[in-house]
Chains A and B, each alone.
Chain A
């Protein structure tokens, strides 16, 4: 199935959910609303064959609204195809439903996403920090988090 066919299939079922479709360097990115993300992911897995969630992460577009974008890189092991889903998340309501019920592998990825970016995953089975210590404050991958860490003099030398 070509990327276009997958987009059409998804649009046929969730026409009001698909916000944007972008193609860049041969990769297709579909932006969907976050409200029905679990349904969209279940559809992608069961109807389009994307049985492996390669990666789940988030990007902080500080200064834009919505501020965050949760990114799902999907892979179909049968047809060896990739596709990318994205769901925008507002800063004021930085939460999205967990997809760990769709792909078990999302469990740790979502924990990491919460730990480093501060996006809450509703109904997550194990919502703990994963890389940072349990008592850490703040979310280091946010763009407004200083690279040298909190409560320190800004680094005076060249950063790059």
Chain B
């Protein structure tokens, strides 16, 4: 006679599973196909960025920040340089052109990050075409990255006090054409997904989280706005001149995977809008602040004058000293609030740098979004959280 047993089964997912978006490991306790308990294990990509930064000058930390959220490197650069500028007290001295280019690149980065999110999220749920379309557009942004910074992913483009170089000739036209074509591309993705019944079945009502629960667990960015909280740091605590741009903050109230999908798509439309506004604002002018103690002298001075050479040598070898103090700078990165908490002891290296990575905090919400739901929903929820392990493990 058969005996019914009620034993649960524990399975391991990752860290080499393609739909965990990197090296995330989940221990899942299953009752049939229903997840009873999900325990994330992280740290496989821990490189000790915070420890390393204590042993480098302020400028040498910038390339480390690229490698946090490597799908949105310029957002990480931006958060860090803004924090250092705040610590130095030179926020007001950043030239207009540098601020506009920073916004321009930050919004291109938002598109870049959201394109990878949509591509992989759709691929995980079984829609392969979208993946190919999204990577087609992402390629253009990677080319733009390459032309401004020389690197396709690890940009290291922003500097404390401004930018490492001006935009190359003809790039503005390339960005403009791209930004103008983007809304049509977004409609194209929507045409493949939004009305698709399989997509709807896999996303509507999946991974639902209420606004109160999302705030308690610390979810920020599109994840919070899809739960009905109208909060965007670009509008509410503007930085780098965001107060001068017209854009809407998309908000939805359902709090499920479909709502997060719609919020991010609307954000991509708004990002294209901001890019076009930034291009219209772009006026010729300096790209570095007039702060000789912090920024490098022009190359011509370095090769032609002894003062310029000494100045350059001192900044490269010793860095610049920063007054003792502490600041926190949060920015609206594509994945949520990215914060840098910097403590200075008066030397030329950060005494302590703490990164507040949005993915790390957002991932904390995973167990309560999947427990009691089907195993297949775990894949959808990992996709909708839009995590990057480089940033989680640091």
Contacts and interface: CB of A to CB of B under 8 A. Distances in A.
Interface of A: 24-25, 27, 29, 51-55, 57, 59-60, 71, 73, 75, 77, 80, 82, 84, 103-105, 107-109, 116, 129-133, 140-141, 145, 147, 159-160
Chief secondary structure at chain B's binding surface: mixed
Contact of B43 (A82, A105, A131, A145): A131
Given A24-B325, A130-B42, A160-B56, A141 B50 contact: yes
Q: Which of A105, A141, A145 has the most B CB atoms < 10 Å from its CB?
A: A105
B10 to A, nearest CB: 17
Interface stretch (B152-160, B292-300, B347-355): B347-355
B326 A24 contact: yes
Q: Which of B86, B215, B325, B394 has the most A CB atoms < 10 Å from its CB?
A: B215
Contacts of A55: 328, 339, 341, 354, 356
B35 interface: no
B141 interface: no
Given A159-B55, A160-B349, A52 B215 contact: yes
Contact of A25 (B43, B87, B361): B87
B29 interface: no
A51 B218 CA distance: 9
Contacts of B69: none
Contacts of A133: 43
Given A140-B48, A140-B51, A54 B339 contact: yes
Contact of A27 (B42, B328, B343, B352): B328
Contact of A131 (B57, B218, B337, B393): B393
Contact of A59 (B236, B349, B351): B351
Q: How large is the interface on B (under 10, 10 to 19, 20 to 34, 35 or more residues)?
A: 35 or more
Contacts of A107: 364
B147 interface: no
Interface string B148-190: 0000000000000000000000000000000000000000000
B55 A160 contact: yes
Nearest to A53: B218
A131 B339 CA distance: 19
